[in-house]
Amino acid sequence: MGAENNESLDLLSVFLTGIPGLEAQHGWLSIPFFIMYMVAIVGNSLIMAAVQADSALHEPMYLFLSMLAISEVGVSVSTLPTVMGILWLDAYRINFDGCLAQMFFIHTFSGMESGVLLAMSYDRFVAIYNPLRYTAILTLPRIIFMGMGITLKSAALMGPLPILLKRLPYCHINILSHSYCLHSDLIQLPCADTRLNSILGLAIVLATFGLDSLLIVISYGLILYTVMGIASGEGRKKALNTCVSHICAVLIYYVPMIGVSVMHRVAKHASPVVHTLMSSIYLFVPPVLNPIIYSVKTRPIQQGIASLFSCKKGLI
C-alpha cells in the first residue's frame, strides 16, 4: 500500500532541475539570482508607482510603460519561488498542479509583455506620424481597452495548455530541464500522443510572438518612412531618439527568445549549462534591464522616481 502511494505521489509531482554540474555552487549562485529578482521587481514597481503618482506621466507612452512593468513583475514573481527554492533549499519537487499553474502564469505574462511591446510600437508610430492628434487618438479609454485586450488575449490563448496537459497520462517520474515549468518541457513528459498539444503550442507562438514581432517590424518600417520625410536633420534625430528605449526593450526581449529557439534546434548536443543559461537570460534579463534603460534614457521617469523618494523623505 505504501509503495502504491509513493508511486501515485511521484506521478502527481514534477522534479525540476537546477544548474547542471553546478549544484555544489547553488549557495553562491543564489546571490546574483536574488539580486536580479530584486532589481526586476523593485525597479519595475518603482516605474509603476511613479506613473501612478505623477500626473505628468499620465500620457500614453508612460501608461504603456507601466503595463510593460506589470507584465515583467508578473514573469519575475512567477519564476521566483521555484528558482530560489532550488538554490536556497534544494527544493526540486513541485506539485503537478502547481507546475501547471506556474507554466500558465509564465507564458501568460510573457505573452502580455510581447503584446505591450507591440502597443508601444504603435504608440511611437502615432507620436511621429501624427503628433498633433497623438492624445486624441490614444485616449485613456482606448489605452485601457488595449491593455485589457492584451491581457485577455494572452490568458485565453494560454488557458487551454494546462487543461490539455492535465488530461494526459503520466507513467514515469517526471523530470524537467529547468528550474521552472514551461510548456515545451511539460509536453515531453506524457506517455501518450501529444501532437495536439504541440500543434496548439506552435499556433499560440505564431499568434502571439510571431504576429507581434512582425507587426513591430512593420511599425518601425512605417516610422522610418515617416522620419525620412522630415526635412530637418535635427527633427529626424529628435523623432528617432524617442524610439531608442523601446527599440532596446524589443531587442532585449526578442533576441534572447530567438537565441533559445536556435539553440534548441542547432545546438541540441551543447552542454546543458548552456541551454539553462540561455533560457535564464530569456526570462530574467528583460525585467532587469528594461527599468534601468527607461530610467536612464527617459528624464520624466527619472523625475517621477526621484519625486517618490522626495515625498517619502518629506513624510519621514
Task: Kindly report, residue by residue over 228-268, the tens digit of the pLDDT.
Answer: 887 677 778 887 888 888 888 898 888 887 777 666 556 55
**Ordered structural domains, the chain, with CATH:** 4-313 (1.20.1070.10)
**Percent share of the chain, pLDDT over 90:** 37
Average pLDDT in the chain: 84
Among 115, 197, 193, 195, which Cα is nearest to 162's?
Answer: 197
Q: Is 50 exceeded by the pLDDT of residue 58?
A: yes
Mean pLDDT within 45-56: 90
Question: The pTM is what?
Answer: 0.89
Q: What is the pLDDT of residue 121?
A: 94
Task: Please provide the distance, in angstroms rounded to a whole number, between the alpha carbons at the two ends of the chain.
Answer: 62
User: Which residues touch 113 (CB under 8 Å, ≥6 apart)?
Assistant: 68, 71, 72, 75, 253, 286
Asked if 181 and 94 touch (Cβ cutoff 8 Å), the reply is yes
**Percent share of the chain, pLDDT over 70:** 89
242 vs 210 pLDDT, higher one: 210
Q: What is the pLDDT of residue 313?
A: 55
C-alpha distances in Å from residue 64, one per residue of 1, 118, 137: 56, 10, 14
Q: What is the pLDDT of residue 5?
A: 38
Phi-psi region of 90 (alpha: psi -120 to 50; beta: other; left: phi over 0): left
Which cell numbers hold the place of 268?
A: 541540441
Strand partners, 94: 14
Out of 49-63, 179-193, 222-236, 251-265, the most confident range is 49-63
Q: What is the pLDDT of residue 4?
A: 41
Q: What is the pLDDT of residue 143?
A: 94
Q: Is 80 exceeded by the pLDDT of residue 202?
A: yes
Asked if 45 and 72 touch (Cβ cutoff 8 Å), the reply is no
Q: Are strands 174-175 and 93-95 parallel, antiparallel or unpaired?
A: unpaired
Asked if 311 and 57 touch (Cβ cutoff 8 Å), the reply is no
What is the distance between the alpha carbons of residues 34 and 244, in angstroms, rounded to a whole number? 29
